Structure 1
Amino acid sequence: MAVLPIRIMGDPVLHSPASEVTEITDEVRTLVADMYETMDLAPGVGLAAPQVGVPQRIYVYSYVDDDDRPWRGEIINPELWMTPPEPGSPDPDEESEGCLSFPGERFPLRRSDRVLVTGVDLSGEPVRIEVDGWRARIMQHEFDHLDGILYVDRLSDGDWKTVQKIARKRGWTRGGASWTPGVDDLEG
């Protein structure tokens, strides 16, 4: 297994829809193992293949549920259904999120509170996940990556302008920027 560089905001692979996985090969299995290792070291609760430069419809996740049970898995070729989000502005304390592809920042974003995700796992077995709250946010966030959408693309105009200033200051407006967990210090 290997820790992979995580692409940052301006990279074209993050802004294009990913391709379906047509066959679960040893290469796909290695990619998923590397994604878990990268996500864990980052640390993150989810990681999509485009974030490590691979334009395929795969993401991994890892979180602890409300009953302190760990949940960890991968979803290949996911489909997402969700209830409409509640109208209104997001609560900055309860509805903020961050992204490993826009590291070091968090912004409030309203998401649906309930989702259903289906797909397959590495064995080709069907996966069906119905979750709410924080877990639903993770699923929507990672699914967005597969459609070429970063959470910062969904922010209010004011927050979007702040994102643009940060990206310019850090040199993230062009492709090619990345960071490697355990290697790069992104503080400050």
Structure 2
Amino acid sequence: MRAVVTAPASVLSTVAAEVDPADPEIVELADELVAIMRASPGCVGLAAPQIGVSAQVFCVDVTGHPKAATTHGTFVLCNAKVLEASRWRPGREGCMSVPDLTGDVKRAGRIVVAGLRPGTGEAVTLTTDAFEARALQHEIDHCAGKLFLDRVAGAHAIYQRKVYL
């Protein structure tokens, strides 16, 4: 398995390329992302740029997380876009690619996302809220070359991480 890259790696600040979800390499990448996420304690999502691959592919699974309300289990999306966003609220975020910091980020508490499933290319529209919505937006940001640090209100909203999972 590939290692998670950390800021300031340039792949994390570059808009990732759209992908062909039927490409066997993308299917392999999707499987690898899920494997790394599952092997990383506390991880609820992982995007391809975080393992050094400039591709719009990510996985999410917030099952069992105490802040999760709605959960769709483990899923992978390619070329995902937010179609609707509402109920904006601040919340604390961390990231494996920024291991020493957390920050307060304002995100939509309810979203509708469209993307494609790897392998089949099936179009998926997902409606979710709360923590799963935050996780999805965080991973979509990775594919757009943005870190949570790009979304904090300022230096006063960035904190040293106190707990390592």
TM-score when normalising by structure 1: 0.75
Give the superposed CA RMSD. Answer: 2.3
Q: Say if 1:58 and 1:75, in contact at 8 Å, map to a contact too.
A: yes
* Structure 1 position 77 matched with structure 2 position 79: yes
Q: Kindly provide the CA deviation profile for residues 29-84 of structure 1, in whole angstroms up to 9, marking residues without a partner as x.
A: 111111111111123111111111110111111122537x6611100111112334
How far 1:85 moved relative to its partner? Answer: 5.2
Which amino acid is 2:107 matched to? R
Decide whether aligned partners of structure 1 residues 112 and 27 sit closer, same or farther in structure 2, where only a CA change above 3 A counts: same
Q: Say if 1:85 and 1:110, in contact at 8 Å, map to a contact too.
A: no
Q: Which residue in the other structure is 2:52 paired with?
A: 53
Q: Kindly provide the CA deviation profile for residues 158-188 of structure 1, in whole angstroms up to 9, marking residues without a partner as x.
A: 247x57xx7xxxxxxxxxxxxxxxxxxxx6x
For the residue of structure 1 that corresponds to 2:133, the secondary structure is helix
Q: Say if 1:17 and 1:147, in contact at 8 Å, map to a contact too.
A: yes
5+ long unaligned stretches in structure 1: 167-186
For the residue of structure 1 that corresponds to 2:30, the secondary structure is helix
In terms of Rg, which structure is larger?
Answer: 1
5+ long unaligned stretches in structure 2: none
Q: Say if 1:79 and 1:119, in contact at 8 Å, map to a contact too.
A: yes
State how many pairs are aligned: 156
Q: Which residue in the other structure is 1:149 paired with?
A: 146
For the residue of structure 1 that corresponds to 2:77, the secondary structure is strand
Structure 1 segments (4+ residues) deviating >6 Å: none
CA distance in 1, matches of 2:87, 2:104: 14
Identity of matched residues, %: 28
Q: Say if 2:12 and 2:146, in contact at 8 Å, map to a contact too.
A: yes
Which amino acid is 1:27 matched to? E
